[in-house]
Amino acid sequence: MIKPLFTCIATFVCMAAAAQDYKSLPMWNPALSFEQRVNDVVSRLTLEEKVAQMLNAAPAVPRLGIPAYDWWNEVLHGVARTPFRTTVFPQAIAMAATWDTNSLHRMADYSALEGRAIYNKAIELGRTKERYLGLTYWTPNINIFRDPRWGRGQETYGEDPFLTAMLGRAFVRGLQGEDPKYLKAAACAKHFAVHSGPEPSRHSDNFNPTTYDLWNTYLPAFKELIVKANVAGVMCAYNAVNTQPCCANDFLMNDLLRNKWKFNGYVTSDCWAIDDFFKYHKTHPTATAAAVDAVLHGTDLECGQTVYKTLLDAVNNGLMKESQLDISLKRLFMIRFRLGMFDPVEMVKYAQTASSVLESDAHKAHALKMAQQSMVLLKNDQSTLPLSKKLKKIVVLGPNAHNPIAVLGNYNGIPSRIVTLLDGIKEKLGSNVKVVYEKAINFTNDTLLNYTDVTAQYSWNGSKGFKAEYFDNRELQGEPVFTKTETSINHNWQRGDLIGNNLGASNFSARYSTHFKAAHTGSTLFEVEANDGYRLLVNDKEVLNAWQRNRWGAKTYELPTIKDRAYKIVLEYWQGDDDANVALRTGNYERTNFAALAAKISDADAIIFAGGISPQLEGEEMPVNAPGFNGGDRTSIMLPAVQTNLLKALKQTGKPIVFVMMTGSAIATPWESENIPAIINAWYGGQSAGTAIADVLFGDYNPAGRLPVTFYKSDKDLPGFSDYAMKGRTYRYFKGEALYPFGHGLSYTSFQYSGLKMANNTAKGRAVNVSVLVKNTGRRDGEEVLQLYVAHQQSKNDAALRSLKGFKRISLKAGESKTIHFKLTAEELSLVNAATGEMYQPKGKVLVSVGGGQPGIKIQRTSNVVSRELTLL
């Protein structure tokens, strides 16, 4: 017994000594190349350690000094889902509407800085193993928004491959930085590939795009980011392409990504996508088979914690070699080394980023600027806009008038302050104009909760009201700091406020307990609204849960009641940083009488209706089943009928009406487009959306946003949602008349294009220089988005009607002119061979058009389009 004990002690001592000496290992020597250091660390890992490092939540390896690290983080439009307050820029589709690569580059740069500050803080607090605190961001989403019904289309840069590629490239370069050695942060192009809904079937879908559609639509943006922008990561999609799951697809992963495009970064699966191999696609018999095939196809990391654990047995049973794991591990550790995670702080300038950059003035100013830039003025009959600031009374109504969730989009962070449309208008006009607010309707119905006071029916241990317990942590742990009785729950604490007993209104939790005595037999509706998280229990049974991710706003629970019976009610709540609020309300549903509402507000000088949809209805695999919506997607692109009916009633007032539409996708508004004089598409505009909209409404900002998607007239214009053929889709292949075409957007001034210059012909493989003169012919300073389109006049039927090949956003003072230059490359003058997918340049005529929108489109606009023919020799 003595010898084994001695051996154990000796082993422990040796391990302790090794742990103390790991800094002397080559992997920790910054004088060596990253490649040498990566090879060293991988060579020292045991098989068990190697497998664990291929999971998104990679554990620490103390003997080598490797800290725990979770690869999963998000930065779609600002650092998301973090426990810290961050700057929230407009949703991705809104940023696409700016058509401004410089703005997007700066937004990504600012977001990376905030991400660095958060990561540095996580190191300081010993929290690097937590999700949403790392430097590997699974953004941008560069899938093509081919169908407006897709709920996640809001995360993309629109329907055009060229616009998506240019904006995506700007984002990646801004996020990753320009340091020759270190990454500021690591971007990840997703979802590779051919992925754009439907959400409910994404785990089992198989798509078979034509070679032409694959190379002309679904792959160009990925090629741009991988080959030219040097994106650090790629995420493979849930779906299958040509019967093989994307994460184990011969063509996508091997032939194209690693061989043709020479990608040497890391690939992560979408979350739990490897499970889909054997659960839903049924292409693999077991988890082990799925894991082996994914790794052999170059999927280096599993977003998940189960399937890749079987790799241990796979190697031990001879199903794959350990050296095949090493290939993936070297890619993963190379990213961590390039992020400076194993180098002294003084060597990595980004590692010195202070927390003061979070929500800095410059970042907040840029969030406002991008929100302003994203506003698309769809219609403005008889110069209804801008409105005068000298009006006496304005009515603001609709489900998005005062909805903070709508402006944040999805995959969002939480800022210290959110400006809704109502907030923005009130701040803009001050006390000089009476601003009246009515919610009036929900998104899909006209029934609202009418609140009632039931405080007399609450009691706890003989005292009226609630027993309120407050804790100095977020988890209701330990003894409460203090306990008191409160008559009701309706709290709004600002940053720095004290709740009581020196407990500040941040990083705390509370439990509110009471008995509710029913006044009647029937039912009572309880509504909870809080920031950050909460859960409601009735008779010790959980009935509402928004504890982890409270992004859906107020939630309701209908309690069946018997008169005089008491029901135990417990509301548990936690708050992180900054402002805090929690409220428990009761009431009954009542329908809005549109005629009565219209009569009530008929004395208004102007009516602003804020409608559309919201991230509460469209998004990723959501539990939503409302009329027109299913599982995160839309079943109809029509504006919900209740909103049209309300607008019809409002029109009877005879007062000017402005429709502010918030959405992450195209909405069909045929009646509104005919009958409402002014329509603004405001998207999900981020933390400063309300300020930006008010700036446009009252003329302090001249709008210049352009649509990155086509707004169709009705559902009849769309092919089947699951049909991935591009025929009849997007501005490039849709032969009908759009309600509002891709690239459309009005201004408060006007622009005139003239003097389009370029060569009459060009030889194969040569670039063509194009220039055009544009003049602001109006009386206001303004911005203009120049768009260059190419149309091959003698192309085959499958070729695009026209394709965007250049764009620039410029500013012009009233009366000012500028000559703007473009260069059309040989590739941009080429077509895709439908049989091989290769690019070729055909002989014949090409129509080159430059202007403020597409050529040949009949629609009101504030600029023209000029065109010339180019002969390809």
Catalytic residues: 270, 618
Structure tokens at 50: 């190697």
Residue 390: how many CB atoms within 10 A of its CB? 9
H/E run at residue 222:
helix 220-223
Does residue 632 come out as left (phi exceeding 0), alpha (psi in the -120 to 50 range) or beta?
left
Task: Give residues with Cβ within 8 angstroms of 434, minimum separation 6.
Answer: 392, 393, 394
Task: Give residues with Cβ within 8 angstroms of 709, minimum separation 6.
Answer: 93, 145, 148, 153, 158, 159, 665, 666, 730, 742
Nearest to 665 by CA among 703, 614, 705: 614
Report how far residue 38's alpha carbon sits from residue 562's, in angstroms, rounded to the nearest whole number: 68
Q: How far is CA 606 from CA 387, 673, 674, 676, 677, in A?
A: 8, 18, 19, 12, 12
Structure tokens at 177: 């930085």
Report how far residue 863's alpha carbon sits from residue 699's, in angstroms, rounded to the nearest whole number: 19
Q: What is the CA radius of gyration of the chain?
A: 29
Alpha helices in 224-305 (DSSP H): 273-276, 287-296
Report how far residue 616's alpha carbon sits from residue 553's, in angstroms, rounded to the nearest whole number: 8
What is the number of H-type helices and E-type strands within the chain? 20, 41
Report how far residue 270's alpha carbon sits from residue 294's, in angstroms, rounded to the nearest whole number: 12
Nearest to 689 by CA among 408, 426, 412, 414: 408
Residue 402: how many CB atoms within 10 A of its CB? 17
H/E run at residue 868:
strand 865-872
**Using CB atoms within 10 A of its CB, is residue 590 exposed (0-12), middle (13-18) or buried (19+)?**
exposed
Structure tokens at 844: 């014949």
Q: Which amino acid is at 150?
A: W
Residue 427: how many CB atoms within 10 A of its CB? 12
Q: How far is CA 172 from CA 111, 114, 685, 722, 777, in A?
A: 11, 15, 21, 30, 37
> DSSP character for 162?
H
Report how far residue 163's alpha carbon sits from residue 805's, in angstroms, rounded to the nearest whole number: 8
